[in-house]
Amino acid sequence: MNERRVVITGIGVVSPIGLNKDDFWKNILAGKSGIKNITSFDTTEYGTHFGGEITDYDPKLFFKDFKDARRADRFTQLGMGAAKMAVTDSGIDAGNLNPERIGVMVGSGIGGLITLENNHTLLMSKHPSRVSPFTIPMMISNILSGMVSMEYGFLGPNMCIVTACATSNHSIGEAWRIIKFGDADAIIAGGAEAPIAPMGLAGFGNMRALSTRNDAPEKASRPFDKDRDGFVMSEGGGAVVLEEYEHAKKRGAHIYCELAGYGISSDAYHLSAPLPDGAGASRCMNMALSHAKMNPTDVEYINAHGTSTPVGDMCEVKAIKRSFGSHATNGLLVSSTKSMTGHLLGGAGGVELAACILALRDQVAPPTINLENQDAECDLDCVANVARPAKITSALSNSFVFC
């Protein structure tokens, strides 16, 4: 049963550089930054004043009932957009298929942070009776998967994985596993995040994890660059439709690519820092290659986690070298699209898998922008600043995480 093949038939993206997959991809290839000063609240007293904030997004377009949009936290609003675009792109329809065989796994690393902040303020400044009765369902991370399933009547496996910045990749990978095992024929999977809130900015800022390049926000996310000083927090979501190959073929679906392997591991090392030698991340990549029955030289492109933190980028480079050997510095292309989108935390992996899929489709490697002075210890071909035509038959997407 676990030899069932899994393919991707739909893509949905809501990001700081595009509110759909086509605009997202056009701006990725153009090397456009989506990072700018935050406008949703006053950042004067914060160390960082910018982020990947999404504007001109109307969540009511993605809910059957506009009241449902109003009763959803921003992470759910963004994630619903990504999920619905993925479903539309795939053409999958519960009305013509067995809804018990279609599932949803769209997670979030933080969940309803904005809802929590707003209602805690009401609780402290007003009265307990002023707290919205929708507070708890709006906050919980699994509400997004639930609302997607209710929107379409999908009755299959429904789950929310919460693993911070690896949430999307774990959701997609475990959906892959469920389909291979035979417990579903299709699953909408990915993640969404809305961390641009006072608590999010203060919390990550006080960890000294964020870039403070306030004089040039569009240049703040600079993975693998010697002058990188932290990641850039962003909001958005990414989702894909995974399907068993014969199921997709039978209904005449457009197949973007096959998802052939998935790896997961733990460093068991530190609350927020990766293993210095990259061993844990390397085990993930090795497992994915093993599942796919592929050799390291079969992979032509890696969409790196590449957050633009001094330690993280260097450790990822070491991990790639451990897994790919001489191929890592001889023909393998590695880029970080976070240089343009910033870091969408739980939504990052869904958006970045979309970039991998479109790179396969169009045979072009996305750039790492702002790579003006490449760190000597990050000595891979990081597709500096300009997208590059390339033969890409297999790609890998990395997502790593605190703890």
Give the tens place of pLDDT for each residue, 24-78: 999 999 999 999 999 999 999 999 999 999 999 999 999 988 899 999 999 999 9
Q: Is the pLDDT of residue 168 over 90?
A: yes
Residue 392 Cα distances to 302, 333, 365, angstroms: 10, 9, 8
The pTM score is 0.97
Percentage helix, strand, coil, to 5, in the chain?
40, 15, 40
pLDDT class of 1 with cuts at 50, 70, 90: low
List, in order of start, the domains of the chain with CATH numbers: 1-403 (3.40.47.10)
pLDDT digit string (tens) for 108-129?
Answer: 999 999 999 999 999 999 999 9
Task: Please report, rounded to a whole number, the percentage of residues in the chain having pLDDT higher than 90.
Answer: 94
Active site members: 165, 305, 343
Q: CA geometry: angle at 331 spanning 319 and 391, to 5°?
A: 115
pLDDT digit string (tens) for 268-324?
Answer: 998 888 888 999 999 999 999 999 999 999 999 999 999 999 999 999 999 999 999
Q: Is the pLDDT of residue 403 over 70?
A: no
